[in-house]
Amino acid sequence: MSDAAVRAQALERLAEHLRGCTRCPLHEGRTTVVVGDGDPDADLMFVGEAPGANEDRSGVPFVGQAGKLLDGLLEGIGLSRGQVFIANVLKCRPPGNRDPRPEEIDACRGYLEEQVALVRPAVVCTLGNFATKLLSGRPDGISTVHGRPQPAEFGGAGVTLYPVFHPAAALYTRAMLGTLQEDFARLPGLIATANRSAPRTPSAGPPAEQMGLF
Ligand code: URA
């Protein structure tokens, strides 16, 4: 079996485990666990904040209004959803779409670390403040750091981190769409450069068993 197939299988095992997760109280109110979606061998991974009502119902990330905007931004750079991997910081919907709480982020972070280690993307594009702060390990807000690539290590995987505004921000502030389009326009070049400077190696990071997930 190819290395990519082995990693895809491990991702599916992780998804099965996640569907039964009771690590934080959010499991009590969820309809489905929104694990993640897309190419398990993608060069580009997006990380959003948490599922909303539409995602909670469907089990698929970014299918509501913000998701349609994300689809449009992807199309603008010649990519489709099937060519990237999309995940969230939290896999279950916070009630009323409130902000994720620190203890929920702590409970869920190992799952995202495992997803990054298994997909092994060259570039992780964080959407908005929560994902950016978690993956950078720094307090700098998205207004300061958007559109600026930075090297990062998350879950034992070295990636190029590329923060952009959350697409939902453009639903409320239309001028934000231009900024998002400009930041997205740099993604294809960034992926090409990141792949050239750090070719993917066959090591998929620590197995989930070692990370205490199962
Ligand atoms: N917003 C997010 O951050 N993630 C989703 O999956 C949907 C909306």
C-alpha 62 – ligand 1 centre gap (Å): 5
Share of the chain above pLDDT 70, in %: 92
Residue 200 lies in a domain: no
Residue 74 lies in a domain: yes
Say which CATH number the domain at 101 has: 3.40.470.10
Residue 209 lies in a domain: no
Mean of pLDDT over the chain: 93
Instruction: Establish whether residue 52 lines the binding site of ligand 1, counting it when its CB lies within 6 angstroms of any ligand atom.
Output: yes
- 158, burial (CB in 10 Å: exposed 0-12, middle 13-18, buried 19+): middle
For the residues 22-28, what does the mean pLDDT come to? 98
Residue 171 lies in a domain: yes
Q: What is the domain extent for residue 109?
A: 3-195
Residue 142 lies in a domain: yes
Provide the residue type at 127 as one letter: L
For a mutational test of ligand 1's pocket, the pick from 26, 32, 33, 55, i.e. the residue with the most ligand atoms closer than 8 A to its C-beta, is: 55
- The pLDDT of residue 186 is 98
Residue 201 lies in a domain: no
Instruction: Establish whether residue 40 lines the binding site of ligand 1, counting it when its CB lies within 6 angstroms of any ligand atom.
Output: no
Q: How many domains does the chain have?
A: 1
Complete DSSP assignment for 100-126 = PPHHHHHHHHHHHHHHHHHH--SEEEE
Is residue 40 a contact partner of residue 7, using CB atoms and an 8 Å limit? Answer: yes
Cα–Cα distances (Å) from 27 to 34, 83, 115, 151, in that order, read 11, 30, 20, 33
Residue 186 lies in a domain: yes
C-alpha 196 – ligand 1 centre gap (Å): 31
Phi, psi of 6 (to 5 degrees): -65, -45
Model confidence over 44-84: pLDDT tens digits? Answer: 999 999 999 999 999 999 999 999 999 999 999 999 999 99
Residue 167 lies in a domain: yes
